Amino acid sequence: MDILVCLKQVPDTEADIRPTSDMTAIDYTGVKFIVNVYDEYAVEEALRVREQVGGKVTIVSLGPDRAVEAIRTALAMGADEAVHLNDPALLDGDAYTTARALAKAIEGMSYDLIFCGKQAIDDDLAQVGSILGELLGLQTVTGIMKFELVDDGKKARVHRQVEGGMDVLEVPLPAIFTATKGLNEPRYPSLPGIMKAKKKPLKTVSLGDLGLSEEEVGAKGALTKVVRYSLPPMRQAGTIIEGETPEEKASKLAKALREEVKVI
């Protein structure tokens, strides 16, 4: 079974993220990058399916040169090969142009199953997987928490949580599934896996290879644009209610709630 996994490199969740001085972009100076957390679930599930039925797991990622580090991490986890969409014209786009470039790359590949992360933790859009499914003409199920092959691998039975219960769906393959927390516990790359990852095939794809123009991808082709970034307002310091007796403190608290907070 040929399994594709779409993967994104994102800033570490513990990184101190700041906008640029003009507030129109993010300043990534000194920021550490990691594999998108939800994409780790996607990689792990792809590996488990391969271990069950055999086949090949291919990572597909769009990003600058530094994205190779995240791709190599997925290869170290056990993926077989990778395709890196790397061209300045492909960068700084939105969910649509990202999915469009990925779709063009995937059109020329063999696949029975595609996994994506539910969303990227840097923008939280949760759109690329669904748009990719639309562009490829594939059924897409988002936020799956359980996956199993049925009907001799012709279908997948998946579970996803909904308000008040759980959806159980059977979907003919090929199809796209986006992974969320609870699907599995991603493995850590082993030392032998890290060493082997350095020698695994990693193909670089440019804009010309995709057959798209600069006006169709990246910032030029984006349907949405971030106008401005801003930092959250500073929280005001809390007020300490002082008094000689509990009664005095209670009286001051009630007055503050009535006159300042206006909740009583």
pLDDT tens by residue, 55-71: 999 999 999 999 999 99
Tokens of 165: 């219960």
Residues 170 and 262 in one domain: no
Q: Is residue 231 part of a domain?
A: no
Would you say residue 226 lies in a domain? Answer: no
pLDDT in tens, 118-138: 999 999 999 999 999 999 999
Whether omega for the bond prior to residue 174 falls within 30 degrees of 0, making it cis, is yes
Residues 113 and 146 reside in one and the same domain: yes
**Cα–Cα distance list, 70 to 91, 118, 193, 217, 254 (Å):** 16, 17, 14, 22, 54
In a domain? residue 198:
yes
Per-residue confidence band for 263, with pLDDT thresholds at 50, 70 and 90: confident
What range defines the domain where residue 251 resides?
236-264
pLDDT of residue 103: 98
Local structure of 161: helix, strand or coil: strand
Least confident residue range of 13-22, 74-83, 129-138, 216-225: 13-22
Q: Closest by alpha carbon to 239, among 218, 263, 257?
A: 257
32 with 101, same domain: the answer is yes
pLDDT at 179 (0 to 100): 98
| 159 occurs within a structural domain | yes
For residues 10 and 123, state if they share a domain.
yes
User: End-to-end distance of the chain based on CA atoms, in angstroms?
Assistant: 64
- Read off the pTM: 0.87
Is residue 176 within 8 A of residue 116, CB to CB? The reply is yes
Give the CA distances from residue 12 to residues 137, 184, 189, in Å, rounded to whole numbers and listed in that order.
Answer: 33, 21, 18
- Residue 26 host element (H or E): strand 26-27
Do 144 and 205 belong to one domain? Answer: yes
Question: In the numeric block, which tokens belong to residue 25?
Answer: 């972009």
Phi then psi dihedrals of residue 172, to 5 deg: -65, 145
Within-domain flag for 254: yes
Distance CA 124, CA 253 (A): 40
pLDDT of residue 236: 79
Q: Are residues 124 and 241 in the same domain?
A: no
Structural domain total, the chain: 2
> Which whole number is the average pLDDT over 212-237?
90
Predicted confidence (pLDDT) per residue in 153-163, tens digit: 999 999 999 98
105, 116, 124, 122: which is closest to 147 by C-alpha? 116
Domain assignment present for 230: no
Q: What dihedral do alpha carbons 60, 63, 69, 71 form, nearest 10°? A: 0
Indicate whether 67 belongs to any domain. Answer: yes
The answer to whether residue 81 sits within a structural domain is: yes
Under the banding of pLDDT at 50, 70 and 90, the label for residue 235 is: confident
DSSP 165-200: EEEEEEEESS-EEEE-TTS--PPPPPHHHHHHHTTS
